[in-house]
Structure 1
Amino acid sequence: MVHINKAYDLNHWLLVLFFLAQLCIFVSSSDPSEIQTLLKFKSFLSNDTALDNWNSSTNPCNGSINIWAGLYCDKNGNAYGLKLQNMGLLGIIDIDTLSGLSALRSISIMNDNFAGPLPSVNKLSALIGVYLSNNQFTGEIQDNAFEGMSSLKKLYLDGNEFSGKIPKSLAALSKLSELGLQGNQFSGKIPNFAPSPNGWTYFNISNNRFEGRIPASLSNLDASAFTGNQGLCGKPLAPCKSSKKKFLIIAIIVVSIAAILCTILAILFIRRRRAQSKQEARAQRKIKAQQHTAAMEVQLTADEDNYKKAEKGGELYFVRKDRGFELEELLRAPAEILGSGSFGSSFKAGLLSGSMVVKRFRQMNQVGKEDFYDHMRRLGRLSHPNLLPLVAFYYRQEEKLLVHDFVANGSLASHLHVKREPGQPGLDWPTRLMIIKGVSKGLGYLYKEFPGLTVPHGHLKSSNVLLDHNFNPLIAEYALIPVINRDHAQKFLVAYKSPEFSHMEQTSKKTDVWSLGILIFEMLTGKFPANYLQQGKRANADLAAWVNSVVREEWTGEVFDKNMKGTKNGEGEMLKLLKIGMCCCESSVEGRWDWREVVDKIEELKERDSEEEYSSYASDGDMGSSRAMTDDDFSFSVNA
């Protein structure tokens, strides 16, 4: 009887375990109503081939693992997030349907083709993140568009065509820590945002139409978050015009009006005295003429004195003998502001002999006149087809001017990162290869000409590579470290963002090689090295770390810029250049390639693959770096 009871108990517990297992399977499977909700949402979309595996025959989730493309699932098998970015989707974002997903906390449709007004995201009040960047949304956003979204922490609306003011409901969100509104047409004043417990981890409203004073709560952010808004002022931008100046302007207007009224009264008074003799009138006109002549002589004398004072302050010194124009001609020529950077402003001056670019430097006031002249004359003697030649310079203690030819085709950065229309091609592979070859040759020339400089360039980046009408590169702003104030240079120059300076606060002969590696990555990926915008030293470049992680995950095909055409039969050569970039960006200075080896390897590259050369390169021994991997470590796929 005892054995019978034990057998009964065992069967009883086995039965209980079976039901519990079935219950777990049921709980981790997707809710049938959620499947219907997602399929209904998909029905409002078009060009949705990326969502072909969304069908009723499979569950969207298996526990926390997503089965359907573009889903994030929680541990209960519910849709936690929608990541539908870079899919080319069109149609309607049906928020009413999405409200049936009770676990939904994040939605991303970045880099798609949705248009129209902002979707009614406040109907999804539990959302934590909303990512709508780089679509075609338009129009003003209603003031109540974000009411009730008390959990929202991240909002990205950049790269659209929204207009009007920032909604009051957005400014009132107390948990918001990341906000991207750049590249729209927002206008009006910046509101006072509700204080966030953790502060801002990302904030950018650049390239809009905002105006007025920047609120004090945002004054500690980087200036790049506000650039491109012509009407903004106050920290961290330029100070706002004081009320005293406004009062002075008003006073001048009032005095001018009073003067006009007095003139009118004087004319009326004169007319009343028409009965006076002609002789008195002639005498009066003669007196006025004499007074006018005396005033003109006084003014001419003052102008001459001012010119002589300016002349004593400095002179325009030409380092190229085939050019010549006066300083006055340069300063009085029609000018166009090209931009304002960390070292000063750049102007385009239209002279009769051709357009010139004048760059003003205010952070060179710690170098003596003789040392400055010697270094500028040395720069003037440089001659290489891939260097932008210095034409002239101007010295004053408080500021310096450097003058060079205007290059109409713009910088490499403007071609890599411009916002293109759909279908508009970027730089193709042969052009990018030609550019990087020219840059490496120019850098090699600087190394040879400045053997005594640890860092012969110091600020090598895509915005300092100009392109002529044939897309041949011209390196600019080179060899300026000896004349720039040291503390300012360490905040802004690219060389001081290298791993060796971040870790040991010193540069090396291979620092410019690291900068060239980052430029190679930027050209191959089309991504901008965002840490260059930060002041001061930083750890290894975010872009280099990203490339390294993607390669190690065997997703090498994801590295290359999708806008880069002309890659057919050139994938092997592109892969070689990627490897060169990785060897340039080795964080260990000892393991990093020397500039001569880099220049030689780049020069060997071709537009199209050669089986013999490719296999030879792949077996070329150890490349001296944990980053320098063999071809077996790569999974390569690029669409031509």
Structure 2
Amino acid sequence: MLHERKYTSILILFMVATCFLPTLIADTDAQILMNFKSFLSNAEALNNWSNDSTNVCTWTGLICINQTTLHGLRLENMGLSGTINIDILMNLTTLKSFSVINNSFEGLIPAFNKLVGLRALFLTNNKFSGEIPNDAFDGLRWLKRLFLAENGFKGHIPISLAKLPRIYDVDLHGNKFDGSIPEFVQNGFRVFDLSNNQLTGAIPEGLRNENPSAFSGNKGLCGIPLNGTCSKSTVSVPHEEGKEENKNHHVLISVIVFVAVLVLASILALLFIRYRRKKTAAKSSSNMENGQSQSQNTKTSTASTSEDKSIVAESKKSKDEDLNFVTNERVEFDLQDLLRASAEVLGSGSFGSTYKAMVLTGPVVVVKRFKHMNKVGKKEFFDHMKRLGGLTHPNLLPLVAFYYGKEEKLLIHDFAENGSLASHLHGKHVCDLDWPTRLKIIKGVARGLAYLYREFPEEKLPHGHLKSSNVVLDHSFEPRLTEYGLVAVTDLKHAQQFMAGFKSPEVSQNEGPSEKSDVWCLGILILELLTGKFPANYLRHGKGATEDLAMWVESIVREGWSGDVLDKSIGGSRDKEGEMLKLMRIGMSCCEWSLENRFGWREAVAKIEELKEMDSVEVGVESLNSDLSM
């Protein structure tokens, strides 16, 4: 009996510990952050940091991905001081960005190289001082952005900084750095500023394409791109090995030879500067892909293939060609800001490439390149883009701005945090879409499409290119339609070959698209959403409908209902299958080959709106089978 009680007590303790274990794990970041906060002074701005909070992503100054995963600390303009305890921050395994801009931290720079996963570090406008050790940035191979401006740092620029393989933003202005500038392994920086320090010697060859303003306020610097040329005595030995400059020079050097060399160097420098100015004036746009433009100092954050990923590929641009914003209510930036932005390639399709661009002084946006939009002239294109920019609906991804060029056009949209629906259905995404989420998505898609039908009653294809890759999801998985309303400005031959609306059965039968062609695309999207199968015929060029998916679903249902037709990742119970089957019925009615039997957009939207998260499976099966027997 005593042993039984003992084992029972142990079992109870084990069960209690098991119940509380997830809570302990979930609170780990909160405990780490509270410990970090305890070393800070004047931390009133962080009063909502509390161990009682269930989600640290709601805390002031925290940057999270999908409102679940801590990504960075943005503790800016808070009057903070005290100690930045790096050893505590090392326990935040997902920390990628750290910013304490405009605070009152002082003393030597903390050992940030312990945070090996750090990608961005912002210490601008504090009271840090002293020398930065030569190895201060060793191990930070992922660091891309470093801002140490407006502090009191002195001594040499650390050689470990110059050796960072991925760095593209370096701002050290307003300190007391001295000595020579080390050779950086990178070039074509997006941001590079060493101004207002005490640097001396010749500017390294790899930095001669930077803007002269990046070196201003350093009286001891010389060489390109500054106007002052360097004599032999000013060329310093790099301090990588900690060696002093060799000061043993020949004393008896001919004055005539010295003057001749100096004059010759001056003439060559003037000729080079004149040549460079002419060359710069002839260029108008920078290629973000290869980073070779001397005027833009542009670098993309992703270099995945040899594919051309430049945002603007034209070689010439007239002065009036710039970004055109469709509304005055948005934060504006110009084409040069966009070219300087860090760009990540999101995909490449039949119309061109798509980029995620992080504008330094503005929002994160998506840039889509279009090379097949010469159907209309410049005025007509501007008018149509302004019309698209005037559309406002929660299920449309709003157009922010556009760029008109003779060879290609750019459309700039807001960025949707959760990517495309296609990436969730067919990619390796971490979270599956359950039935309530899929129902929410298809209802949003239907509402957005209905809005386009009402706004473009004269168009047979108000959307024209509706498919899962053109449905993006925001932070709450609310769907937003993209690439809508572009048939009117797209070259007809290209549209017929690639746009989803031209894959409908009526077009495959050598007829033109109808007012129900977008409804057919909606039906295919519904079946794709329910089955998880990709409509493979969308990959085929030219005419030819994607009837395969619809016919596959119909053939399985005609043989008797099988749960295999549903995507296994939907999950849920049988009380939800009835509504799934109702939606499948709607999708098949939208995919009818006969235009007379196919749903119109009003009927399709009304049927979708009637759907619920739960119903009886018997009603759905009976209704679906009765339709197929007709």
Which of 520, 540, 555 aligns to 1:514? It is 520
Deviation per CA, 1:355-409, whole angstroms, max 9, x where unpaired?
2221111111232111111111110000111101111111122111111122231
Task: Tell me the equivalent position of 1:369.
Answer: 378
- CA distance in 1: counterparts of 2:554 and 2:627, whole angstroms: 14
1:388 corresponds to which letter in structure 2?
L
Aligned 8 A contact 2:536 2:546 in 1? no
Q: 1:389, 1:296 → 2: CA distance?
A: 45
Q: Do 1:429 and 1:567's aligned partners in 2 also have CA atoms closer than 8 Å?
A: no
- Among 332, 341, 346, the alignment partner of 1:338 is 346
1:554 aligns with 2:560: yes
Counterpart-to-counterpart distance in 1, 2:457 and 2:594:
22
* Contiguous gaps of at least 5 residues in structure 2: 1-231, 236-247, 286-315
Return the alpha-carbon distance in structure 1 between the equivalents of residues 411 and 546 of structure 2: 32
Where do residues 389-400 of structure 1 align in structure 2 (5 Å cutoff)? Answer: 389-400=398-409
- In 1, the alpha carbon distance for the partners of 2:627 and 2:409 equals 50
Paired residue secondary structure (2:365): strand
2:318 alignment partner, SS class:
helix
- What TM-score, normalized to structure 1? 0.52
Matched residues in 1 for 2:545 and 2:365: separation? 37
Tell me which residue corresponds to 1:351: 359
Q: Equivalences for 1:252-401 in 2 at 5 Å?
A: 275-278=252-255, 280-282=257-259, 284-307=261-284, 310-312=317-319, 314-321=321-328, 322-352=330-360, 353-401=362-410
| Deviation readout 1:553-584 (Å, 9 max, x if unpaired) | 01342211111123442111111101111111
Opposite residue 630 of structure 1, the aligned amino acid is: S
The amino acid of 2:352's aligned partner reads G
Q: CA deviation at 1:278?
A: 3.7
> Is the 2:537–2:546 Cα contact (8 Å) retained in structure 1?
no
Q: Which aligned pairs between 1:90-489 and structure 2 lie closer than 5 A?
A: 275-278=252-255, 280-282=257-259, 284-307=261-284, 310-312=317-319, 314-321=321-328, 322-352=330-360, 353-419=362-428, 426-489=432-495
Secondary structure of 1:444's counterpart equals helix
Query: In 2, are the aligned partners of 1:318 and 1:391 still within 8 Å (CA)?
Result: yes
Asked if the contact 2:535/2:546 (under 8 Å) is kept, the reply is no
Cα-to-partner distance string for 1:79-99 (whole Å, 9 max, x where unaligned)? xxxxxxxxxxxxxxxxxxxxx
> Which whole-Å CA distance do the structure 2 matches of 1:426 and 1:382 have between them?
31
Assess, with a 3 A threshold, how the Cα gap between structure 1 residues 631 and 503 changes in structure 2: closer, same or farther: closer
Q: 1:567 to 1:498 in 2, by over 3 A?
A: farther
Distance verdict in 2 for CA 1:631–1:361, change over 3 Å: closer
- Distance (Å, rounded) in 2 between the aligned partners of 1:567 and 1:298: 73
- The residue that corresponds to 2:242 in the other structure is none
| Distance of aligned partners of 1:510 and 1:330 in 2 relative to their CA distance in 1, 3 Å threshold | same
Over residues 233-262 of structure 1, what are the superposed CA-to-partner deviations in whole Å (9 max), with x where a residue is unaligned? xxxxxxxxxxxxxxxxxxxxxxxxxxxxxx
Match for 1:317: what amino acid?
N
Please give the alpha-carbon distance, in whole angstroms, between the structure 2 residues aligned to 1:539 and 1:406.
Answer: 31
Structure 1 CA distance for aligned equivalents of residues 628 and 555 of structure 2:
16
Unaligned runs of 5+ in 1: 1-263, 621-627, 635-640
CA distance in 2, matches of 1:361, 1:346: 9
Change (3 A) 1:284 1:419: closer
State TM-score, norm by structure 2: 0.53
Structure having the higher Rg:
1
Does structure 1 retain, via aligned residues, the 8 Å contact 2:526–2:587?
yes
RMSD: 2.8
Letter in 2 for 1:347: Y
Decide whether the 8 Å contact of 1:540 with 1:587 is kept in 2: no
How many Å apart are 1:340 and its aligned residue?
A: 1.3
CA 1:452–1:400 in structure 2 vs 1: closer, same or farther (change >3 Å)?
same
Q: CA contact under 8 A between 1:323 and 1:391: conserved in structure 2?
A: no
Sequence identity (%): 54
Q: Deviations over 1:51-81 (max 9, x none)?
A: xxxxxxxxxxxxxxxxxxxxxxxxxxxxxxx
Deviation at 1:299, TM superposition (A): 1.5
Distance in 2, matches of 1:274 and 1:534, equals 78
Query: Among 599, 606, 614, which residue is 1:600 paired with?
Result: 606
Instruction: Say which is worse superposed, 458-467 or 311-320, in terms of deviation.
Output: 311-320
Q: Is the 8 A contact 1:554 1:633 kept in 2?
A: no
Q: 1:468 to 1:556 in 2, by over 3 A?
A: same
Q: Specify the SS of the correspondent of 1:367.
A: coil
Q: CA deviation at 1:511?
A: 0.7
Look up the equivalent residue of 2:345 and give its one-letter code: I
Structure 2 residue 508 is matched with structure 1 residue 502: yes
Instruction: Give the structure 1 partner of residue 538 of structure 2.
Output: 532
Q: For residues 461 and 542 of structure 1, what CA distance do their matches in structure 2 show?
A: 15
User: Could you say which residue in structure 1 is the equivalent of 2:626?
Assistant: 630
Give the corresponding residue for 1:217.
Answer: none
Deviations 1:490-520 (A, max 9, x none): 1111111111111142111111111000000
Q: CA deviation at 1:312?
A: 3.6
Alpha-carbon spacing, 1:274–1:541, altered in 2? closer, same or farther (3 Å): farther
Contact preservation (8 Å) 1:550, 1:558: no
**Shift in CA distance, 632/387, structure 1 to aligned 2, threshold 3 Å:** closer
Decide whether aligned partners of structure 1 residues 418 and 383 sit closer, same or farther in structure 2, where only a CA change above 3 A counts: same
Query: Does structure 1 conserve the Cα–Cα contact (< 8 Å) formed by 2:420 and 2:472?
Result: yes
SS in 1 for 2:487: coil
Q: Assess, with a 3 A threshold, how the Cα gap between structure 1 residues 632 and 368 changes in structure 2: closer, same or farther.
A: closer
Structure 2 Cα separation of the partners of residues 598 and 460 of structure 1: 15
- The structural deviation recorded for 1:273 is 9.1
The residue number in structure 2 matching 1:37 is: none
1:589 maps to which of 592, 595, 605: 595
**C-alpha deviation, 1:285, in angstroms:** 2.2
